Amino acid sequence: MLSDVLREHLLRPRHVGRPARAHRSARAENPVCGDVLHLHAARDEHGGLELRFEAEQACSAVLSLSSYALERWQGYRADELRRADARALALEAGGLPPGKGHAADLLQRALHALLEELDA
């Protein structure tokens, strides 16, 4: 069962879709369960990032954790995001249900891929 915090993000996800202005995107997939997560970022004039996500056939853990993480990470610069830890964030949000740790791993891989795109 999802924590109250993650349940709230599942019912009312934040930061879904693509940024309105120019952006970079990255994709990560869990081949075992088929979850696919797209992260998008657009830089503001101070180097902060507007972060958004889209998910394909993703489980509730991926959707809720992505929403929670992007809520927390809004406005971070790329150098700050390099220190982001999706598993630690999942614990902060009350933890993931048993067998759903892949949600944090998928988010971390998508974030790593996005940071590579931002560096390109």
Quote the pLDDT of residue 21.
Answer: 86
Say which amino acid occupies 1: M
> Residue 114: what pLDDT?
98
Report residues of the chain scoring pLDDT below 70.
none
Going by their DSSP bridges, the two strands 36-43 and 24-29 should be labelled as antiparallel
Structural domain range at position 83: 4-119
What pLDDT is stored for residue 22 in this prediction? 76
Domain count, the chain: 1
CATH number at residue 42: 3.90.1010.10
The Cα 10–Cα 33 span in angstroms is 19
pTM of the predicted protein model: 0.94
Contact 86, 72 (CB under 8 A): no
Tell which residue, 76, 66, 11, has the closest CA to residue 42: 76
Q: Give the rounded percent of residues in the chain with a pLDDT score beyond 90.
A: 88
